Chains A and B, each alone.
Chain A
Amino acid sequence: NAGVTQTPKFRVLKTGQSMTLLCAQDMNHEYMYWYRQDPGMGLRLIHYSVGEGTTAKGEVPDGYNVSRLKKQNFLLGLESAAPSQTSVYFCASRAGAIEQFFGPGTRLTVL
């Protein structure tokens, strides 16, 4: 099992550009999450999904959109990137149990 994978690992964008981050999990988990992690701050929840075809806003959803068309994939989109979105992005998933499994992260820089 690969667990939770994220692509790309690194990306540099210019202000105003768009991109999509892909998260994939092979554990058949229902729940999936997108977090961002900034220095000195805890992981902050951007959006989450409780099952295929469903999404919901987290703590810091502005400027991001998500889609969960397939159970194993959770996509995070930035329509018009801003420097404030420079961060490390983590995807996580869980089944009915409480433990979350995290991906390796995507380091995004917006110039």
Chain B
Amino acid sequence: SQKIEQNSEALNIQEGKTATLTCNYTNYSPAYLQWYRQDPGRGPVFLLLIRENEKEKRKERLKVTFDTTLKQSLFHITASQPADSATYLCAPAYNKLIFGAGTRLAVHP
């Protein structure tokens, strides 16, 4: 069956550093992959989409890569801020989105 793996351990980093989150998937070939941000007690909010024919996508301080050979996406936040603290969900998609469990990011001042 299709499986999404995100690091279940929280990622703690210092303000100003680059945060890198990993998403690995197995048993399917998604046409695109999305990243969402979820704050406690709230629904996920869409951040970025990257298609299978794109290697990299950027939006302000966010960068996403998509390696279909490794079956992996990396999500980077540069110059991180405490306001970036949240859980980040990846969602590879073929016919429908399949969500990973998310990685919690904590940015410390």
Residue positions of A touching B, CB distance < 8 A: 4, 35, 40-45, 48, 58, 90, 92, 98-105
Contact check, B89 vs A92: say whether CB atoms are below 8 A apart. no
Contact A105 B43 (CB under 8 A): yes
The number of A-B residue pairs with CB atoms under 8 Å apart is: 44
Which A residues lie within 8 Å of B34 (CB)?
98-99
Query: How far does the Cβ of A21 sit from chain B's closest Cβ, in whole Å?
Result: 14
Query: Does B61 sit within 8 A of A, measured CB to CB?
Result: no
B94 adjacent to chain A (CB < 8 Å): no
A-binding segment of B64-72, B74-82, B95-103? B95-103
Q: Could you write out 15 A-B pairs with CB less than 8 Å apart?
A: A4-B43, A35-B99, A40-B101, A41-B101, A43-B99, A44-B99, A90-B43, A90-B44, A99-B34, A100-B44, A101-B46, A102-B43, A103-B43, A104-B42, A105-B42
Q: Mark B40-54, 1 if CB is under 8 A from A, else 0.
A: 011111100100000
Whether A102 lies near B45 (C-beta < 8 A) is: yes
Closest A-chain residue to B8, C-beta based?
A: A40
Contacts A42-B89, A105-B41 known; A100 to B101 CB distance under 8 Å? no
A102 touches B49 (CB 8 A): no
Indicate if the CB atoms of A99 and B46 lie closer than 8 Å. yes
